[in-house]
Structure 1
């Protein structure tokens, strides 16, 4: 039963668009931080942010810390709502 729902979910374009957006946001933030002067200089400001700006190896952790609390619940709600609506529509 779970496999059937997973297959239905993966066939929908909305699922792939949501996954694409969740992956594009951290990339966009990284590009903006690299191109612009928005963040503090390395060595100044909060320790974690200056470490992220000084060395890119910590960026995935920072991106997860920013994206997960904000966008993951929205993505889960959209997918769950679509699953419930699809079941109600098909009877």
Structure 2
């Protein structure tokens, strides 16, 4: 008689990161969110620096283009402006 191991819920952290964030926006919407800051950035600059920092990008089924979490882009912009991001060898 073999018994199967008890079913346990999966790792909560893995489940959390498996789902895309609920606040996904396009780069134009991200630029608009950052525009109210004293240090506004163009969508092109924001995209270039965000990608250079190897931050997550998302694809939304049925929608074209890259999407990014609004809260993540605002946090990234804050850290960039305040100089809290680690410097890399390449120019950002």
Query: Which one has the bigger strand percentage?
Result: 2
Q: TM class by shorter-chain length?
A: under 0.3
Q: State TM-score, norm by structure 2.
A: 0.27
Q: Which has the higher helix share?
A: 1
TM-score, with structure 1 as normaliser: 0.27
